[in-house]
Amino acid sequence: MSTEIASPAARLGERLAAAERTVLLSGQHMGPAERLEAEVRGVWAERASLENLLTRPGDFWDFYLPVAERIAARRPGPGHRALARLEAAGLVWAHVTQSVDRLHQRAGSPEVVEVYGNALSARCERCGERYGLGEVADLVAAAADGVPRCTTPGCGYPLRPSGTLWNEPLPPEAVSRAWELGGQADLFVILDSELRTAPMSLLPSVPLARGVPLIMVGEVATQYDRYAAMVVRSPSPPVLEAVLARLGLEPDPGAEG
């Protein structure tokens, strides 16, 4: 363990142990490793948009499905496992995430508020039926126009991803839950989130306005750093692993690796 991380990890561990209601906001990715390819990011705003889904659904799914399949193929990393272990040990009271890959849940995080939904399922907006990605792929392959449609008898409505699309409002129930949790926290920890996009960029101001300490862990500076009780300029996985070690907790061997 590097000394650069050891000391902040010790202080973070003490803070977590002392707090009663630590609310944690995790970013889209834990650390830098699993970002989408540059060419996908470049056209994401256009081809993965609600407008494209509504006007050119064949093109939308042609682009979106393989990206979602790559997201689904990701595996939880050491940071996901370390965080799940801290949650299991009762050191995190609530977990809000900006990730859409469900890796926290697969690593064992018991309850995660997904403010962007997730990329691993689709739903019918007419009858509410939900479809896993594999089912969607089968429906796309079987459709002459490449558009998956609801299989509920008498429905047949075109499906949409369960997750939030570019420029689309976030699911209101998840956002109000996140705000409610932010208002109850006595410690607020932000992991690997650049906090650039509203409304989520505003969430830390909820605990901050009540005088609740903020702890920022991540490689990128944010607008909240100067108000934070502690800033750890590092990707979160090695920090979380160091916190586990300081607290004498082992990573959960049963978690998916």
User: 32: which 2 tokens?
Assistant: 């830098």
* Residue 130 interacts with Zn ion (CB under 5 A): yes or no: no
Choose, by CB under 5 A, the member of 150, 159, 215, 217 that binds Zn ion. 150
CB of 19 to Zn ion, least distance (A): 44
Q: 251 preceded by cis ω (within 30°)?
A: no
Sheet of 214-217: strand order equals 112-114, 94-97, 22-26, 187-191, 214-217, 230-232
Closer residue to Zn ion in complex, CB, 153/211:
153
Closer residue to Zn ion in complex, CB, 18/142:
142
Q: How far apart are CA 245 and CA 19, in angstroms?
A: 19
**216 contact partners, CB below 8 Å, separation of at least 6:** 190, 222, 224, 225, 228, 230, 231, 232
CB of 169 to Zn ion, least distance (A): 22
Choose, by CB under 5 A, the member of 7, 152, 167, 223 that binds Zn ion. 152
CB of 121 to Zn ion, least distance (A): 14
Choose, by CB under 5 A, the member of 33, 142, 155, 202 that binds Zn ion. 155
Residues 166-205 that bind Zn ion (CB under 5 A): none
237 closest CA partner among 191, 193, 196 = 191
CB of 56 to Zn ion, least distance (A): 21
CB of 237 to Zn ion, least distance (A): 40
Closer residue to Zn ion in complex, CB, 7/152:
152
User: How many residues are listed for the chain in this entry?
Assistant: 257
Q: How far apart are CA 234 and CA 220, in angstroms?
A: 8
Q: With CB under 5 A, what is the number of residues at the site for Zn ion?
A: 8
15 closest CA partner among 225, 219, 231 = 231
Closer residue to Zn ion in complex, CB, 108/158:
158
Q: Which residues bind Zn ion (CB under 5 A)?
A: 124, 126-127, 129, 150, 152, 155, 157
